[in-house]
Structure 1
Amino acid sequence: MTDEEDSEDGSEAQRASKRSSGERSDPRDVVRRERFSGGPARDFLSSLAADERIFAADLAVDRAHVVMLAEQDIVDEADAAAILEALADVEAAGHGELPDGEDVHAAIETAVIDRVGARGGRMHTARSRNDEVATCIRYRLREDVLDVAEATLAAREVLADAAADHTDTVMPGFTHLQPAQPTTLGHYLSSYESALARDTDRLLDAYERVNRSPLGAAAFAGTPFDVDRERTAELLGFDGLVVNSMDAASARDFLVETTAAAATLATTLSGLAEDLVVYSTQGYVELADEYASTSSIMPQKKNPDTMELVRGTAGDAAAGLNGLLSTLKGLPRAYNRDLQRAHPHAFEAVEAVEAATEVAAGAVATADWRTEALSAAAGEGFSTATGVADLLAMAGVPFRTAHEVVARAAEEGSDYAACEAAAEAVLSESLDAYVDREAVEAALDPETSVASRDSVGGPAPAAVENALAEARDDIDADAAAVESRRADLAAAENGLEAEVATYV
């Protein structure tokens, strides 16, 4: 061994000796310790600021849990009363006055203990932050789901009203952004009411699985205390339990389902918004000034900016769903801290889509549809060609042959003469051997063409009116379903307040 090696070994031994005796020889150690001692990690771990969204939910969950503990003789009534009174003080002070904490749950508990002393810690008996946060998220999210559902109902009513005003307004229908067949504005608008009806259904379906209580699952393995999980579920207005305690603490599929429903709704709205942007450009509709803006440099411009932002919301919602799924993918059972990053995706998507729904509904409600321009464009691009082919098929010509006749006619024009020439070329017979001229000319007229398509769900005015009558019944039924759920939650809230009042 060289002298240098002896020296290095000796220095290391000296450093080890100094470390064991508490002596710090290297000032860099102090810097490192100060840099990494608690601050950054503590801030990184904390969700207190973001938890403002579930502050009220946590207070409700705390109250229900304490009432149940007292009813089960797990906590005596005097302690329960003190805790419940302290929770009222915390609520009055607000989220902004909470002490520092890792999350809102710990901060509220600390605030209670600050007010009533160590016995305040009894409020956390027989539970974990794992089941507590899962319950708080569900408690808050169910209200948000109902808010979005109500927004879809308002949008459906607007669309139905606008459609009813325009059952006779002929307009061009498009596929691939090309004139395809004439339709009516009422038929077009009611198509979005139908889509939004399914979005409402998805939200109400999601609500049923959101509104289940995980409280009492504790960390994930239940609790030895004689808790009454059904009682806390009742006090909080849940429709039942997430029974398995491991599933209850760790499951976040209800977030996925809700966010997926929001993303699907946002996609529906994005299509409507895109149509309004295109139709504004083509002069078919003018949005109210409140839903448009002008250019900072080009004074003649009126831009459909709100619809562009509604269209963009679909990207936000889809990103939220993808972020949520990516967070949850591959997580082991049961609780993992990754879950702290999960629910913001859902809340942000739901809030954004609710706002987009309201704006889209407002744009439709105040839009000025240019009916003359729509009618003038309804027959462009030989959009009535299918009607002529249908006439020939009804007269016995195989539809594929009829299709060939009208396709050939489209190469020359869109009038009777072009159809007659095409029939001679393809069928080797005059057109009137199959249909008379009056019927063909009627089929070439956009209004007559639309009126002939009166099958269920079709664009004929009578068919649209029938569809709208059914749509209004569905809207009323869905509104009643939302109202019933609101009433159940309000009743539970009142019931919880009454129970708390017996202690405080």
Structure 2
Amino acid sequence: MKKSLMALTLCALMSGSIIFAADQTPRDNFYWLGQINKASDIINTDEGLLTPAEGKNIAHGIQKVLDEGNKPGGPRPTNVVAFEPYLIQAAGPEVTKIHAGRSSQDMLTTVGIMEQREHLMAMAKELDNVQRSLIKLAEENKDTIIPNYTNGVAAQPNSLAHHLIAYANAYNRDMQRVREYYARLNRSPMGSMVLNGTGWPLDRDRMADYLGFDSIAYNTYDAGQIFPQEAPIETGGITNAIAIHTTSFIEEIMQQYAQPRPWILLKEGGGNTYVSSAMPQKRNPGILNSCRTDASTLLGMSVEAAFRSHNIPAGMADGRLSGRMDIVPQATKVLSEFDRILNNLVIHPDRSLEELNLDWTCSQEIADQLMKKYGIPFRVGHHFASDVVTYARANNITPADFSYEDAKTIYAKSVADVAKEDPSIPKTFPMTAEEWKNAKDPVAIVHNRAVKGGPQPSELNKMIEMAKKDLANNEAWVASTENQLSQSEKKLNNDFDQMLK
């Protein structure tokens, strides 16, 4: 690739407005306007709107403009009005006959959809990568027991795998939103003209097939005026969910960086972390910060898109879907960074268990077991467990070191008054020493969960398999969708090549 084309390429990549085919042809406005012109020439010739001679001459003119634009430094006009003079120069005024029944509005709306369509495919692949990495981590950490936090405070023990599969489920929902939106997006506006179609008998369905659409956007006013303004708003909803899921996970890791013995952190170096310029002990989690920043930028971009569409008549350019302003490439960048984070985590099961055993995340289990086995009302058991925690913290006693004898003493005092009123409540601590020990054991707590969707091994294995099926379904959808687009493009290019002969 010559230097000038490489500069064009890098610039376009940075703007997020371009995707490359195998031959490195930029897939920008110029490319897609060329594809629309090819399809218009073929269809209009077949329909008798152009003579075979006119169709062939126009085809050669289109190809000449495309060849010149693909040369290093060649002209690549991005809108219809700027593109047409090159066509006229290449094939004469009769080339404008292919513009019958077309407008910049339906053409550029179509271009914007086709560009975003490819952006969505790139983002869908990154969503699949993230789900795959989360599932892999979950399989590797079925036996890793960690503290889960609510309100920023250690709340209950959990399986790390259970935690990770929850996020895999979240990103799968993001993928479902992509697929649902794609079905609304992938409808061809071509032939809608400006507002209410055209008097030319254009074959909208065949045009849609050539350009890889599933169908046409039927109502011509909706196709060119309303949907293009609505689409960026829906895009923002999808990418906002992705940003929130990503930053939530990042913040959970960042909490650990505040601890002297974190149980999850990044591999050092390699662009993941960097050393503080002033404090030698610090290993700042650089990639966490940059991914979070990019996610915040993404949220800002979605708000910008909403304001561009706010308080304007339908069809105005302000909020119209366009590849140049599309926020999907930014979401793809966030997902790519997050996948890198997932693949560079260092997890210390011994330290997570240590953290659990230093605090009283087992206290709810104590109340649950007293009710389940001995019929003690939950609030009574909760009060006893709270008294245990208060005593333990005042005397710096960890759960593992809290004795059975102390538990019996505290229980007798805690239930004394309520037991007088309710004879069914045992006045002496009913748990055995072994039951008391197990109620404080984070591993036993996790393994003894009994509800569907819990972290116990039987349910955890089931949910991992469910996540794998979701991922396989998503991967199949991406492959099928890309194949459909590829086949449509191949047919268009092959049929156009026949026009050149």
TM-score range, shorter chain: 0.7 to 0.9
Shift of 1:401: 1.9
Kindly tell me: are residues 199 and 97 of structure 1, through their superposed partners in 2, closer, same or farther at Cα, counting changes over 3 Å?
Answer: same
Kindly tell me: are residues 437 and 100 of structure 1, through their superposed partners in 2, closer, same or farther at Cα, counting changes over 3 Å?
Answer: closer
Partner of 1:313: 294
Partner of 1:303: 284
Shift of 1:98: 6.0
Q: Tell me whether 1:396 sits opposite 2:375 in the alignment.
A: yes
Amino acid at match of 1:181: Q
CA distance in 2, matches of 1:94, 1:421: 87
1:228-377 → structure 2 map (5 Å cutoff) = 228-250=203-225, 251-252=227-228, 253-282=230-259, 283-288=262-267, 289-290=269-270, 291-333=272-314, 335-339=315-319, 343=322, 347=326, 349-377=327-355
Q: Which residue, 200, 204, 229 being the options, matches 2:175?
A: 200
* Other structure's SS at 2:155 match: strand
Q: Quick check: 103-112 or 413-422, which moved more?
A: 413-422
Tell me, yes or no, if the aligned pair for 2:17 and 2:324 is still in contact at 8 Å.
Answer: no
Partner of 2:442: 446
Amino acid at match of 1:463: E
Per-residue CA distance 1:424-446 (angstroms, 9 max, x = gap): 12323667654323112101011
Q: Tell me whether 1:421 sits opposite 2:409 in the alignment.
A: yes
Q: How many aligned positions are there?
A: 453
CA distance in 1, matches of 2:217, 2:460: 44
CA distance in 2, matches of 1:370, 1:431: 42
Kindly tell me: are residues 392 and 68 of structure 1, through their superposed partners in 2, closer, same or farther at Cα, counting changes over 3 Å?
Answer: same
Q: Which residue, 83, 90, 94 being the options, matches 1:108?
A: 83
1:201-216 → structure 2 map (5 Å cutoff) = 201-216=176-191
Partner of 2:106: 131
* Other structure's SS at 1:500 match: helix
The alignment's C-alpha RMSD in Å is 2.3
Partner of 1:29: none
Shift of 1:298: 3.7
Q: Which residue, 149, 160, 164 being the options, matches 1:174?
A: 149
Shift of 1:105: 2.1
Tell me, yes or no, if the aligned pair for 2:16 and 2:324 is still in contact at 8 Å.
Answer: no
Q: Quick check: 433-442 or 202-211, which moved more?
A: 433-442
Amino acid at match of 1:287: L
Amino acid at match of 1:257: E
Amino acid at match of 2:350: E
Q: Tell me whether 1:490 sits opposite 2:451 in the alignment.
A: no
* Other structure's SS at 2:281 match: coil
CA distance in 2, matches of 1:196, 1:91: 40
Per-residue CA distance 1:235-274 (angstroms, 9 max, x = gap): 1110111111111111222222122211211111111122
* Other structure's SS at 2:40 match: helix
* Other structure's SS at 1:132 match: helix
Which structure has the highest helix share of the two? 1
1:150-169 → structure 2 map (5 Å cutoff) = 150-169=125-144
Stretches of structure 2 that go unaligned for 5 or more consecutive residues are: 1-14, 19-26, 393-398, 420-425
Amino acid at match of 1:322: V
Q: Tell me whether 1:466 sits opposite 2:454 in the alignment.
A: no
Tell me, yes or no, if the aligned pair for 2:17 and 2:115 is still in contact at 8 Å.
Answer: no
Kindly tell me: are residues 50 and 148 of structure 1, through their superposed partners in 2, closer, same or farther at Cα, counting changes over 3 Å?
Answer: closer
Tell me, yes or no, if the aligned pair for 1:99 and 1:107 is still in contact at 8 Å.
Answer: no
Shift of 1:180: 0.5
* Other structure's SS at 1:502 match: helix
Tell me, yes or no, if the aligned pair for 1:271 and 1:311 is still in contact at 8 Å.
Answer: no
Tell me, yes or no, if the aligned pair for 1:259 and 1:346 is still in contact at 8 Å.
Answer: no
Shift of 1:487: 1.0
Q: Quick check: 208-217 or 417-426, which moved more?
A: 417-426
* Other structure's SS at 2:158 match: strand
Normalising by structure 2, report the TM-score. 0.85
CA distance in 2, matches of 1:318, 1:431: 57
Tell me, yes or no, if the aligned pair for 2:111 and 2:322 is still in contact at 8 Å.
Answer: no
Identity within the alignment, %: 23
CA distance in 2, matches of 1:139, 1:344: 8
* Other structure's SS at 1:379 match: helix
Tell me, yes or no, if the aligned pair for 1:158 and 1:361 is still in contact at 8 Å.
Answer: yes
Amino acid at match of 2:414: V
Shift of 1:346: 5.3
